[in-house]
Structure 1
Amino acid sequence: MKAALYARYSSDNQRDASIEDQLRICRARAEREGWTIIDSYTDRAISGASLLRPGVQELIADGLKRRFDVILTESLDRLSRDQEDIAGLYKRMRFADVSIVTLSEGEVSELHIGLKGTMGALFLKDLADKTRRGLRGRVEMGRSGGGLCFGYDVVRTADPDDRGEREINPIEAAVVRRIFRDYLAGQSSRTIAMTLNEEGIAGPQGKEWGPSTIHGNPKRGTGILNNELYIGRLVWNRLRYMKDPDTGRRVSRPNPESEWVVHEVPGLRIVDQSIWDDVKARQASLAFDTTGDSGNPMNDRRRPKHLLGGLIKCGCCGGGYSLISKDLLGCSTARNKGTCSNRMNIRRDALEASILNGLRKHLMEPELFKELCSEFTREVNRLRIERGADLVGWQREFERVDRELDKMVEAIFQGYPPLKLKDKAEKLEARKAELAELLANADEPPPLLHPNMAHVYQERVGKLCENLQREEDRGPAVDVLRSLIEQVTLMPDNEELAIILRGDLGAILRFAAGKKNPDFLSEAEALDNLLSQGSLVAGGRIDLDRTYAHFRRGKGKTEQLL
């Protein structure tokens, strides 16, 4: 039996050797069971509250490819402490015929998932409550309640009961005072951020300055201009943080003011009260609605959504392209931080027209798609040969088990006591039934891609483009088109913008087939293998994971680069 090992520890406070300790005792168990270890997967200093961890994601992907038969780990909470996540992982592994075995619980069943999942969730909640209790105790003494804001240093001490003290960092404090002065002088937060970046002054946590780092959100108390610690007022528990179950990212939510914990700490004042009051007055005068959630008009204004919103990236810095006017798109990093050299803009309607044309005519060219079909067929056949080796082994074992059972029947006829053969016979019968099921399901030939899918795809995209022009059909058409696009990259090239369109092959194939789960996706391993490697097609490299087309927009025409 082929086994995969998994180990994890939660925080930087734990030793890295914890990983090796977990793997060592798992290897010992695998040796006793006679299992062959295929690979080991690890996550270091990452909480088990989410499955968005590189090690466990690789483990799940390989499990779905059936690289191994069993996952071996120290305990179930190493895989996840979240009820939903551990149940989903268990369900997916069951579907792939991969069992989960832990040193603590043995072979994991539905009962373990229910009980241990609940215990893991309660552990996380209890840990969070105790942590907040300890932090509040520090705040009541005027110390840090977690986190370090720009302008201060932590006072290092060996006494765990004397931690949380802060002191003013003179260099950073001077930058804070400068930001307040420049803002009062009429400069925008964007101008201030760009100037600081140009001068090479590092921002909070050593990162670049951005406008939101400076103006923040006055009601939430975020941003340099809204941090009341700069006037010697410590406010704790203004916000609470929750993890988005879909992305795993922390999202802040405001707490009622009655739940805030406020302490005066005059020794940490950096900004004079008069300057602070003048800044608050300027923020209020610039706000469209001083009663709203934000004192910054840029935060209050909801920008219009467009067809490609969130999908467009700058080829120079990797940042997003966003609307800088009603119809013009530009690099957000270049505009807001000044750290990107890409100052080229593009009209939104021209970009959308180019992308729709690329989707319709170039993203699934029939000749290239024929090559993809051939590659897919070759990969499926290769996997069939590999599976054939398993098939021969299963067939031989089935015949051997059958012979053993015949011998036992013959032994009973010869007068051998049946009770002494009972246990062995039951095991052989169970293995025979298992092999019979494997052999019955192994011969199903997976259906292959049909080259005509490229033409069907182009017709369906053409129909979608027509639906975009009709108001009643536009919403669903936008959702479908966005699902086909992985990313649009804009790269300056000789005073023009090259447009690199990357489509999601899996979504495109589903769309072309017209089904949610088309039959050919049953050959998931073949597609996965193709998606993880490039292939040489027609003398040039084509990335089968993200089929793409290049276009250059300029001089009133669109040209195909590839």
Structure 2
Amino acid sequence: MKIALYARYSSDNQRDASIEDQLRLCRLHAEKQGWTVVDSYTDRAISGASLLRPGIQELINDAMRGKFAVVLAEALDRLSRDQEDIAGLFKRMAFAGVRIVTLSEGDVTHLHVGLKGTMNALFLKDLADKTRRGLRGRVANGKSGGGLCFGYDVVKQFAANLEPIRGDRTINEAEAAVVRRIFADYLAGKSSRTIAFELNREGVPGPQSAEWGPSTIHGNPKRGVGILNNELYVGRLVWNRLRYLKDPDTGRRVSRLNPESEWVVQEVPELRIVDQEMWDAVKARQQTLAYEPSAPGENKLNDRRRPRYLFAGLVKCGCCGSGYTMISKDLLGCATARNKGTCNNRLNIRRDALEASVLRGLHTHLMEPELFKEFCQEFTREVNRLRIERGADIEAQRLELERTERELDKAIQAILDGVPGAKLKDKIGALEARKAELVDLLANAEEPPPLLHPNMAEIYHQRVATLYQSLQSEDERAEAAQVCRSLVDRVTLAPDGEELAIILRGDLAAILRFAAGKKSPDFLSEAGALDVLLSQASVVAGIGFEPMTFRL
């Protein structure tokens, strides 16, 4: 009996020894049962409230491949504490023919999944309630109930019983000076982007030693996040403003704003960094710059929203890799260079000039008939060769099956003619085994799709011409623009002296789909041929042609 072991612990405060203890107990149990352990899977310091864990995901994948017949764990809650997840895991293991056995529950059944799943979920809820109760008591005593804010240090001290006293904070004077500077600069009329740019240029470390960004400074006033909105800077500790839920699809925590009546507010004047007059002035300036809907369902920002341009989201800086964004009505610039000042690429480009250059490049370079024709010819030859080989393999297996059946018939006839069966036993056994193998291979073999049309490049060129004409038409431009965006994988703008060089990279798979005129043509499944041709593209298509990349 081949089995797999699984172990997990959920908190950073626990030790790796917990994993080893769980595995040791499971191995002892396996030895008593005479089972063979083929692999073990672990998740360290990861909550059991989600299946989005690398260890459990690897275990599920191996179970589906039939690597083992039993999963052994210390208890059901090691696999998952979520009702939905444990039921789904049990269903997947049952489908794969894999039993779940734990040291606590024994052989896990539907009854265990229902009862223990509910108990584990209630345990998580009870643990969360107790944790919140403890934090609320800590906040009532003027101590922090959350993480460490910029501008403060953790006070490490111990009680008489040597237990750590948690939640005490003290002002970090160096960081407090940065906080006061940010408030003063904002009142002086500087934007959060300008403040972030200056701090990064001077090498001032931000929260958690990261770079400063505009959102780090202005944050969200309603949620109380951001340097300008942290009420702890005026000696007011606010707890329970936000609650956090775990997204069941991604496993990530998502914040939700609680009603103000549920907030817990405690005055801590010893932690004040900014005086009240400066705080009130900042709030007043924020209010004047805020956009509030004048009527239900109305948003003034809708009138200020710029139309999405043709290659939005695809244009990247060649120096730092960040996006090129609209910095004015007509100009595109590097977002990192403007917002953080950590990129030296200060060259801008007009949006209409960029679009015209890229469209011209698509028409005259990426879609150049001669270049693409040469590539298509080589691609067609390689894919057709693989399909012919695959078809030949299937035909060879069919012929071998026919020969095997004839050999079996001859052996049976020999026994009927009086030849002792003992002499033919091994031969018949080998023929039967080979016949079963061939029947299985042919039953699961897929017939190769039809060969590619040798004139694919010409068909592609006709479709390109039609697309380019549609882009010039106002009525058809929107739909044609979506097709055009799908052909472009990335547009990189790299400084070249005083100008920007435009490097266009195409999506090869999308281009080949476009050439075939299908959403998912069969030839794109020829992964081997595609990889080979991608690695040889510069040789196949001639000098100056990199894999679907052009410098305009």
From 248, 253, 259, the counterpart of 2:262: 259
TM-score by length of 2: 0.70
Preserved contact between residue 447 and residue 520 of structure 1 (Cα < 8 Å)? no
Question: Which has the larger displacement, 339-348 or 188-197?
Answer: 188-197
Preserved contact between residue 177 and residue 271 of structure 1 (Cα < 8 Å)? yes
2:155 paired residue number: 155
Preserved contact between residue 7 and residue 42 of structure 1 (Cα < 8 Å)? yes
1:261-301 CA distance string (max 9 Å, x none)? 322222322111111111111222333449899xxx99995
Aligned AA (2:197): M
With over 3 angstroms needed to count, the CA separation of the structure-2 counterparts of 1:137 and 1:360, relative to structure 1, is farther
Question: Which has the larger displacement, 71-80 or 157-166?
Answer: 71-80
Question: Which has the larger displacement, 155-164 or 213-222?
Answer: 155-164
With over 3 angstroms needed to count, the CA separation of the structure-2 counterparts of 1:133 and 1:354, relative to structure 1, is farther
Q: CA deviation at 1:498?
A: 2.0
2:487 paired residue number: 484
1:406-437 CA distance string (max 9 Å, x none)? 89x99xxx9xxxxxxxxxx9xx9999878634
Preserved contact between residue 383 and residue 526 of structure 1 (Cα < 8 Å)? no
2:218 paired residue number: 215
Matched, 1:141 2:138: yes
Preserved contact between residue 314 and residue 490 of structure 1 (Cα < 8 Å)? yes
Q: CA deviation at 1:493?
A: 1.7
Mapping of 1:228-307 within 5 angstroms?
228-241=231-244, 251-289=254-292, 302-307=305-310
| In structure 2, distance between residues paired with 1:350 and 1:85 | 56
1:90-127 CA distance string (max 9 Å, x none)? 99x99xxx95857649xxxxx99999799889967963
Q: CA deviation at 1:485?
A: 2.8
| In structure 2, distance between residues paired with 1:284 and 1:516 | 50
Preserved contact between residue 56 and residue 79 of structure 1 (Cα < 8 Å)? no
| In structure 2, distance between residues paired with 1:549 and 1:130 | 58
Aligned residues: 507
Q: CA deviation at 1:151?
A: 1.2
Preserved contact between residue 366 and residue 451 of structure 1 (Cα < 8 Å)? no
Query: What SS does the aligned partner of 1:322 have?
Result: strand
1:422 paired residue number: none
Q: CA deviation at 1:145?
A: 3.2
| In structure 2, distance between residues paired with 1:550 and 1:124 | 57
| In structure 1, distance between residues paired with 2:277 and 2:323 | 38
From 189, 193, 197, the counterpart of 1:194: 197
Aligned AA (2:187): L
Query: What SS does the aligned partner of 1:141 have?
Result: helix
Q: CA deviation at 1:41?
A: 8.9
Query: What SS does the aligned partner of 2:366 have?
Result: coil
| In structure 1, distance between residues paired with 2:339 and 2:251 | 27
Aligned AA (1:366): K
| In structure 2, distance between residues paired with 1:58 and 1:535 | 35
| In structure 2, distance between residues paired with 1:6 and 1:504 | 41
From 352, 375, 378, the counterpart of 1:368: 375
1:17-73 CA distance string (max 9 Å, x none)? 7788999989x99xx999999xx998765667778778899999x99xx9x664887
2:128 paired residue number: 131
Q: CA deviation at 1:447?
A: 4.5
Preserved contact between residue 197 and residue 337 of structure 1 (Cα < 8 Å)? yes
| In structure 2, distance between residues paired with 1:338 and 1:195 | 8
1:559 paired residue number: none
Preserved contact between residue 197 and residue 209 of structure 1 (Cα < 8 Å)? yes
With over 3 angstroms needed to count, the CA separation of the structure-2 counterparts of 1:204 and 1:458, relative to structure 1, is farther
Q: CA deviation at 1:475?
A: 4.1
With over 3 angstroms needed to count, the CA separation of the structure-2 counterparts of 1:382 and 1:438, relative to structure 1, is closer
1:537 paired residue number: 539
Rg larger for: 2
Aligned AA (1:155): V
| In structure 2, distance between residues paired with 1:370 and 1:57 | 42
Question: Which has the larger displacement, 155-164 or 318-327?
Answer: 155-164
Preserved contact between residue 5 and residue 71 of structure 1 (Cα < 8 Å)? no
Query: What SS does the aligned partner of 2:310 have?
Result: coil
2:550 paired residue number: 549
Mapping of 1:156-555 within 5 angstroms?
156=156, 162-241=165-244, 251-289=254-292, 302-363=305-366, 365-376=372-383, 436-442=439-445, 444-447=447-450, 449-450=452-453, 452-524=455-527, 527=530, 529-530=531-532, 536-538=538-540, 547-551=548-552
| In structure 2, distance between residues paired with 1:480 and 1:114 | 53
Q: CA deviation at 1:209?
A: 0.6
Preserved contact between residue 38 and residue 68 of structure 2 (Cα < 8 Å)? no
1:558 paired residue number: none
| In structure 1, distance between residues paired with 2:489 and 2:4 | 32
With over 3 angstroms needed to count, the CA separation of the structure-2 counterparts of 1:267 and 1:522, relative to structure 1, is same
With over 3 angstroms needed to count, the CA separation of the structure-2 counterparts of 1:441 and 1:190, relative to structure 1, is same
| In structure 1, distance between residues paired with 2:537 and 2:111 | 45
TM-score by length of 1: 0.69
Preserved contact between residue 83 and residue 121 of structure 1 (Cα < 8 Å)? no
| In structure 2, distance between residues paired with 1:446 and 1:170 | 72
Q: CA deviation at 1:183?
A: 1.5
Question: Which has the larger displacement, 223-232 or 115-124?
Answer: 115-124
Q: CA deviation at 1:494?
A: 2.3
Aligned AA (2:226): G
